[in-house]
Amino acid sequence: MAKMQENWRDVIADRLRERNKNESARFADIIHYNNRLFDTAAKLRQENLDLKIDRKIRDSVNVAGTAGGSGTGFGTDVAAITNAQIQSLEKKVLAQQEELTDLHKRKGEHSQMVITLNQRLSDLQRLLAERERALAEKTALSVALKEELDELKASHVTIKDESLASQLRANTAEDKLRTVQDENTKLLNLLMEYKSRDAEIMNKENDKFVKEKKARIESELERAIRDIPGPSSLGPDLDRFDIDGLPEGVEFKFDAHDGEVNAVRWSPIERIVATGGADRKVKLWDVGKGICEQRGVLVGSNQGINSVEFDTTGSMILAASNDSASRMWSVVDHRLRVS
């Protein structure tokens, strides 16, 4: 850092020297004239001193001539030579004074120019100081930004490493999840197999139970039939039924409903059969004449019928439907009495 500051300070100093050199080259003539002015002024002061000395000599000679008389030829010649020299020197003094005035004038102009240049130099030095201060601030800011950038780079590397580690953990978790899913699938398949086996065992037990129940019912029916009197005591309508044993075939077969038949019930006093089906109807059938003849249709249910039942007198019929509702009809006129 210190080396960097020395370098830019040297560069600025070199640039200032080069600029001063370029600026002073424009005023080289002025400086030369100013030096000549000082030299000429010194020369004129010396000549002025010489003139003063000559004048004193001349005055002393004039005084001596006046005292010795006007007849002396040597004194006249000396006076003439001295007057000529004095006139020449006076002219020379006037010229030198004019030149001195001009040089004083130029000196004033040069002094004003020097003052202006000094002021400009002060302004430039102040601007240079401000720029150096701004440069120092920017240099400090640059250093701070560089340090922050280094920190961000280190943080980026850390975050990148953490991301890779997280990705590895995620891949490991996915592998474990797939393994668990495979094991779960195997367990489900095994469970389905066990359930299938249990269902087969249960079906076998149900079949066995149904067969045993059927055999028991058949046995009970056989015992009950043996205790029932012959057909002559039951009336002429039942002569066609074989009551000496179990039914051996279908007595009636007909289409009672449009769909499934869910309930069947015999009337307690008449040879009437009531059926209920999925078509939401209860139908009455007369089977006393050896054929199934429709006696009536009881309507009013909103869902399929699942159960029917006569009362003890056989005059009313009660039906339950899938909408958890019960309705009662009259068997005689087929009218809905209770809903």
The answer to whether residue 118 is domain-embedded is: no
Of 109, 79, 260, 325, nearest to 117 by C-alpha is: 109
- Tell me the HSE value of 282 on the side-chain side, using a 13 A CA sphere: 32
Per-residue pLDDT reduced to its tens digit, 138-154: 999 999 999 999 999 99
The answer to whether residue 196 is domain-embedded is: no
Is the CB of residue 308 less than 8 Å from the CB of residue 276? yes
The answer to whether residue 287 is domain-embedded is: yes
Kindly report the average pLDDT of the chain as a whole number.
Answer: 81
166 exposed, middle or buried (CB, 10 Å; 0-12, 13-18, 19+)?
Answer: exposed
Report how far apart the first and last C-alpha atoms of the chain are (Å, whole number). 103
Q: Please tell me the predicted confidence (pLDDT) of residue 172.
A: 92
The answer to whether residue 130 is domain-embedded is: no
The answer to whether residue 61 is domain-embedded is: no
Per-residue pLDDT reduced to its tens digit, 84-127: 777 787 788 888 888 888 888 888 888 888 888 888 888 999 99
The answer to whether residue 274 is domain-embedded is: yes
The answer to whether residue 283 is domain-embedded is: yes
Q: Please tell me the predicted confidence (pLDDT) of residue 134.
A: 92
User: pTM, whole model, 2 decimals?
Assistant: 0.31
Kindly indicate the confidence band of residue 167, based on its pLDDT and cuts at 50, 70 and 90: very high
Of 309, 256, 261, 306, nearest to 286 by C-alpha is: 256
Range of the domain at 300: 261-337
Of residues 234 and 42, the one with the higher pLDDT is 42
| Amino acid symbol at 90 | E
Domains in the chain, number: 1
The answer to whether residue 315 is domain-embedded is: yes
d(CA 333, CA 324): 25
Q: Please tell me the predicted confidence (pLDDT) of residue 238.
A: 46
Per-residue pLDDT reduced to its tens digit, 273-299: 999 998 999 999 988 887 888 888 999
The residue assigned the tokens 């009970």 is 220
